[in-house]
Structure 1
Amino acid sequence: MPELQSEIDDKTIELLNLIDKYETLVNNDYRTNFIDGFVNLSKANYEHLGRGFETRYGIDSIDLRDRVACLEVDENFCLVDLTGKNKEVDYEEKSKQGESGLKNRKRKEEKINKIEEVSEDVFKDPILQFGGMVPNQLRQSQNFFKKAIENSVQVVKLQRKIKTLILEIENLKS
């Protein structure tokens, strides 16, 4: 009986620590990243409208066609940035092409490969739909929202851990 009670106490202490982590994450980082993201988005709109443009950055001005997601969550609830992988592949391919130094312009196979490389480039940074010269505040806003997505994944992980611990404690009590 005392061993069971000490195990329940250990699980309860672990549960309280997880709840503390959850509350600090939600009330500090998660919340402030969303706030800073929206503040920087409004600053970017203010700067953009100040230059004489009529459109604002937001849901009304984005391209609503279907796109491939640039961030994914894998089975272990880890966030995977797919745009970074694409940049690494492109860099490796360019370095392979630059090593030879000589090109045979009469070969048809290389033209086919170039077309395939362009079609493989599906993971594009969403900020590029607003052009290459976007305000710095818009880039900062994007970074804050990416951090908020990372925090969202951490929040879900903590929620799952808390639920499993509660179930374990209930099973030990019964």
Structure 2
Amino acid sequence: MNGLNKTCAEIQTDGGFEYRLQSNILNQTNIPECDQSWYSEDWRVIADPSYPEKLMDPVISVSSDRLVTSRCVEELHHEIQCHSSGFSMETLFRVRNETAATPNSDVNEVTPSLQISDQFWWISALLIIMFLLLICFILRKKIFRCLQRKGRFICQTDDGTDNSHC
């Protein structure tokens, strides 16, 4: 299995997002008895160059050397099988989306993995702020007593005894 790792920016074109096969694979696609298909992450057929009119969303177009989609897809599979020679090759396209929203004039959807990641960071930041506020609330009496004694390093506790560490 061949693996290609790219970013959405690297495969973005004016016409969509282009998944292009490498030249060593292209040599096999021109053999008449070889079939090729493109699959989604869950192994559903989304395009077949032999039937370019039968395309599944998000595919815009397909040819023997490339697939063009309307949005950046994180994982696609290309498979070629030559029945007479028994040759088969699978190529896995993994694409990293470095922005939260996929730029597209038709669809402006957020990639689920990045949406979860962004939510995690916002929730984490909110929890840290709430924790700091709770600590300030609990220690507010002790902090204000120490500040009112200007220059002294001794604080009184609630029972009236002196405490040397505030």
Structure with greater strand percent: 2
Measured against the shorter chain, the TM-score band is under 0.3
Higher relative contact order (CA 8 A, sep 6+): 1
Larger radius of gyration: 2
TM-score, scaled to structure 2: 0.27
